[in-house]
Amino acid sequence: MTTNEFDFKGFRTSGFLMLMLFFLLVALCIVAFIFEAPSRAWTIVMYVAAGLGLLVAFISLAGLMMLEPNEARAMVFFGKYVGTFKETGYFWVNPFLEAKKVSLRARNLDVAPIKVNDKIGNPILIGLVLVWKLKDTYKALFEIDSQTMAVAGQGQAVGATVAGRMSAFENFVKVQSDAALRQVAGLYAYDNSELDASETTLRSDGNEVNEVLVQKLNERLAMAGMEVIEARINYLAYAPEIAAVMLRRQQASAIITAREKIVEGAVSMVKMALNKLSDEEIVELDEDKKAAMVSNLLVVLCADEAAQPVLNTGTLNH
């Protein structure tokens, strides 16, 4: 995507050098005030020169600035953007330049769970946590209204401090994250209980859903010069009004799955028992006896309660 951001190419020099020059200039101005000139005219000239020197010194102090790693300043000269300063260190630039300081460091944002409808219309609660950072200072400062954007929940205008600007940017990210989360949640079902088992769901395919979420977030935040590094769904649950019903459905599904496994194992064990009796010629069973034995074994193996033993005092031949 195209950008209007570019590096600051204006004059800059060491801040320490200019600071020493300022102290020297102030010292000379003080000497000029206390120095006795040979005539009144020269005294007036020296006073005026010293006053102008002090004025220049104090105005020039506004040109001193210090940048730490992953900080930047957007330089504006009487309303005209003249580049972004990203060099680390202590510098002096034109004091009439306005330097809008912003942070390029990564920041966390925890989006509180919101209620949305999934793909099949079930109301769910879903939240996310993301890591974002400022990528394009021009877009962030001049293509969204970061100067007057209200801080979320406070209803007051953002000031000119870096904390105020970053708070406004975070509020922008939060609003767009909410919209992106609603969009992504509507693309998938909560689980595949009512869908094809191979279809992507919010509960079982977290990595794939997170990738789509990062893509949607970056599409929305590109216009503001911000980038999402990572986004993950950190909260997922059915909405309270259907949570109890869905829990019973999940329990029923789990019971059915367990019963299927139990029956499958019981049939295998009955088959093994019949084959063992026949191969080792322990007892001769006709079809009726086999059916009775299968029935009894299945009751014992599949029952929820322990079986009560019954002693057969008769004979297998009667």
Do residues 287 and 278 make contact, with C-beta atoms less than 8 angstroms apart?
no
pLDDT (average), residues 122-129 = 90
Do residues 187 and 119 make contact, with C-beta atoms less than 8 angstroms apart?
yes
- For residue 99, the cross-strand partners are 75
Cα dihedral sign, 229-235-236-242: negative
Helix (H, G, I), strand (E, B) or coil at 161: coil
pLDDT at 184: 92
Q: Where in the chain is the domain with CATH 3.30.479.30?
A: 107-238
Do residues 298 and 270 make contact, with C-beta atoms less than 8 angstroms apart?
yes
Cα dihedral sign, 235-239-245-249: negative
Give pLDDT tens digits for 141-191. 988 876 555 444 444 444 467 888 888 898 899 999 999 999 998 898 887
- For residue 109, the cross-strand partners are 130
pLDDT > 90: what percent of the chain? 35
* 107-238: CATH architecture: 2-Layer Sandwich (3.30)
In total, the chain counts a number of residues equal to 318
Q: Phi then psi for 128, rounded to 5 degrees? A: -145, 160
Residue 162 and residue 164: Cα distance in Å, rounded?
A: 5
285 burial (CB, 10 Å; 0-12 / 13-18 / 19+) is middle
pLDDT at 228: 94
pLDDT at 196: 65
The contacts found for 196-203 with CB under 8 angstroms, 24 or more apart, are: 202/118, 202/124, 202/126, 202/233, 202/236, 203/236
pLDDT at 152: 42
Across 4-13, 59-68, 163-172, 241-250, least confident range: 241-250
